[in-house]
Amino acid sequence: MLTLPRVIARMVLAGLVFLAAAIPAGLGAQDGPDRSRPPATGPAPSLDLPPVAKHRLSNGLPVWIVGMHEVPVVHVMMIVRAGAAMDPEGRFGTASFTAAMLDEGAGTRDALELADAIEMLGATLTTGSAYDVSTVELHALAETLEDALPLMADVVRRPTFAAEELERLRAERLTTLLQMRDNPAQLATAAFNRLLYGASHRYGTSIIGTEAANRALTVEDLRAFHAAYYRPSNAHLLVVGDVTGDAVLPLLERAFGDWAETGRPPAAPAPPTMDRPASRAIYLIDKPGAPQSQIRFGTIGVARSTDDYHAIEVANTMLGGSFSSRLNMNLRERNGYSYGAGSSFAMRLGAGPFVAQSAVQSDKTLEALLEFVNELAGMAAQPPDDELTRVRNFEALGFPRGFETTTAMANRLAELVTYDLPESFFEEYVSRVQAVTAADVQRIAEQYMDPDRMIVVVVGDLASIEGPVRQAGLGPVTIVTADEVLQ
């Protein structure tokens, strides 16, 4: 939740240098190892990612296949370029409701028959929406893939949208929205996004949408959304795991090759741009008796298409993207106000939020807010060399971990697809991270991390925290209710 979305594909890590003061340990010692210095680590091994085989089915649907053969499983992901950001005005929640309905009956099977057919194969099938895309994902044993793919094709292409299933999901979704009020962490995030973007911008409401829209949406709304966007020309299929192209392509062709194209999908509206806050404003939401305050401190960030992607990743890791980051060391390790603190940029097709966050004990709320200000402001100063080196290495050398499982590999590839990243993104990742300079970090800090131009949301026990926060003069204080930020 606190890390940057990371992307990749084919890359080689080799010959990078890491530990600054690395001296060989006393290999010949008879009385035990020389512990006076940490051991040298030598050059990092190279990671050769398996190649991405790119194909098209006869209807033009792009298919990328990556072989991973250690475990006999396969992850298949259909990416549809229509997420919550495509929701019609006044109908926030359409994309995610549509995705949720896909496996509630499809083809000739009703919801229970479909679930049974998938589970009998030991497979799992999940559907969902992000802001930028919707996905249908199948995770199956390689030996059952042939039987599972037709079920996935039904779900993508032939959902039933049965009225009684829609009513059942409607009740479930409204209950989920109701339960957000119980959870201070979810409430704080929802409030932060709403107060930053407003009620009309899609990023100001969580993906599930508003209560009003979830009450109002009809079968026709969902059918229309499906018809408009779930088309081969608006989709992309990933197959990752214990398969070969020769064996799997005929199965894919059978499942998706005759998925008819019905014309171009509606063009995506340009994501509306929003001005960043010009000054600091504080918003408080009451959670009577809460032992902790949930804090969100941030502003509008940047779109995934930014040229500053690597610099932002490094700057964010330094501030709040790893255990040794400044926010965590301050709020947790030095002051003990919290179990953890961090920060993240949500980089989407449009500019998602940048947020620094923590849950802190109630009686240290003001102290914690002041430390957020200190750490955010401190990012404007030139970072020490050793810190910058550590952060760059953490990002660059940890990169291979994201490719270990079929699911993780598919997620990495999906980001390439979703954001139309150039092929060179893979090979360049490590060198571009390593090229981030102190001046780059300062530039990012100046642009996005100025604590004087942010909104601050605190969900906590107002009886004890409101007075101190007001008296500190951190900025104008407004009390808002859960209803105001969730509706």
Partner 1 sequence: MRSSPSDTRSLWRATRSMAVAIAGLALLASPLAAQEPERRLLSVPYEMFTLPNGLRVILHQDRSVPQVAVNVWYHVGSAHEKPGRTGFAHLFEHLMFEGSGHVKEGEFDTLLEAAGGTNNGSTTSDRTNYYETLPSNALDLALFLESDRMGYLLDVVTPQMVDSQRDVVKNERRQSYENAPYGRAFLRLTELLYPEGHPYHWPTIGYMDDLSAATHEDVVEFFQLYYAPGNASLVIAGDIDPDEARRRVEFWFSDVAPGRTPPPVTVPAVELDNVVTERMTDRVQLPRLMLAWLTPGTFRPGDAELDVVGALLSSGKNSRLYRRLVYEMQVAQDVSATQYSSKEGSIFLIDVVARPSDLGPDESIARLRAIVDEELDRLRHEPPTEAEMTRVRNGIRASFYDAMETIAGKADQLNAYYMLTGNPDYFAEDLGRYETLAPDDIRAAVRRWLPADRRVELVVVPEEQ
CB of 289 to partner 1, least distance (A): 7
The CA distance from 464 to 418, in Å, is 45
Mark the segment that binds partner 1 (CB under 8 A) among 181-189, 257-265, 374-382, 415-423: 181-189
C-alpha distances (whole Å) from 181 to each of 59, 202, 285, 465 are 46, 20, 11, 20
CA nearest 293: which of 459, 466, 470? 459
Strand partners, 281: 455
By CB under 8 A, name the one of 44, 79, 149, 485 that touches partner 1.
44
Mark the segment that binds partner 1 (CB under 8 A) among 167-175, 191-199, 216-224, 257-265: 167-175
Mark the segment that binds partner 1 (CB under 8 A) among 32-40, 78-86, 275-283, 445-453: 32-40
CA atoms within 13 A on the CB side of 164: 3
CB of 443 to partner 1, least distance (A): 23
> How many residues bind to partner 1 according to rule CB under 8 A?
91
CB of 198 to partner 1, least distance (A): 26
By CB under 8 A, name the one of 193, 210, 406, 418 that touches partner 1.
406
Centre a 10 Å sphere on the Cβ of residue 122 and count the other Cβ atoms it contains.
13
Q: In 3-state terms, what secondary structure has residue 142?
A: helix
> Judged by CB, which is closer to partner 1: 389, or 464?
389
> Judged by CB, which is closer to partner 1: 299, or 328?
328
DSSP state of 329: I
Q: How far apart are the first and last CA of the chain?
A: 24
> Judged by CB, which is closer to partner 1: 1, or 267?
1
By CB under 8 A, name the one of 58, 108, 179, 244 that touches partner 1.
179
CB of 9 to partner 1, least distance (A): 15
Tell whether residue 487 is a contact of partner 1 (CB under 8 A).
Answer: no
User: Any residues with CB less than 8 A from the CB of 429 and at least 6 apart, and which?
Assistant: 7, 8, 11, 310, 396, 399
Q: Which residues inside 51-70 make contact with partner 1, applying CB under 8 A? A: 68, 70
Strand partners, 298: 355, 455
By CB under 8 A, name the one of 92, 229, 399, 419 that touches partner 1.
399
C-alpha distances (whole Å) from 479 to each of 132, 254, 387, 458, 465 are 32, 58, 39, 10, 12
Rounded to the nearest 10 degrees, the angle between the axes of helix 309-320 and helix 424-434 is: 50
Rounded to the nearest 10 degrees, the angle between the axes of helix 245-256 and helix 145-157 is: 30
User: Any residues with CB less than 8 A from the CB of 62 and at least 6 apart, and which?
Assistant: 54, 55, 56, 236, 237
The CA distance from 241 to 414, in Å, is 15
Mark the segment that binds partner 1 (CB under 8 A) among 126-134, 193-201, 278-286, 386-394: 386-394
CB of 450 to partner 1, least distance (A): 26
Helix (H) or strand (E) holding 429: helix 424-434
Q: Which residues inside 286-315 make contact with partner 1, applying CB under 8 A? A: 287-292
Decide if 282 contacts 192 (C-beta within 8 A): no
The CA distance from 263 to 48, in Å, is 39
Tell whether residue 434 is a contact of partner 1 (CB under 8 A).
Answer: no
By CB under 8 A, name the one of 332, 354, 441, 449 that touches partner 1.
332
CB of 40 to partner 1, least distance (A): 8
By CB under 8 A, name the one of 10, 19, 268, 367 that touches partner 1.
19
CA nearest 49: which of 475, 425, 454? 425
Tell whether residue 5 is a contact of partner 1 (CB under 8 A).
Answer: no
Tell whether residue 15 is a contact of partner 1 (CB under 8 A).
Answer: no
Binding string, residues 338-377; x marks residues near partner 1 by CB under 8 A: xxx-x----------------xxx----------------
Decide if 188 contacts 1 (C-beta within 8 A): no
The CA distance from 15 to 271, in Å, is 41
> Judged by CB, which is closer to partner 1: 302, or 388?
388
- Look-up of token digits 């003001």: 366
> Judged by CB, which is closer to partner 1: 71, or 439?
71
> Judged by CB, which is closer to partner 1: 38, or 198?
38
CA nearest 91: which of 214, 224, 225, 230? 214
Q: Which residues inside 217-246 make contact with partner 1, applying CB under 8 A? A: none
Phi-psi region of 307 (alpha: psi -120 to 50; beta: other; left: phi over 0): alpha
By CB under 8 A, name the one of 131, 256, 283, 394 that touches partner 1.
394
> Judged by CB, which is closer to partner 1: 25, or 268?
25
Mark the segment that binds partner 1 (CB under 8 A) among 198-206, 270-278, 301-309, 322-330: 322-330
Strand partners, 359: 294
CB of 67 to partner 1, least distance (A): 12
Q: Which residues inside 104-123 make contact with partner 1, applying CB under 8 A? A: 111-112, 115-116, 119-123
The CA distance from 315 to 436, in Å, is 9
Tell whether residue 385 is a contact of partner 1 (CB under 8 A).
Answer: no
> Judged by CB, which is closer to partner 1: 285, or 300?
285
Tell whether residue 93 is a contact of partner 1 (CB under 8 A).
Answer: no
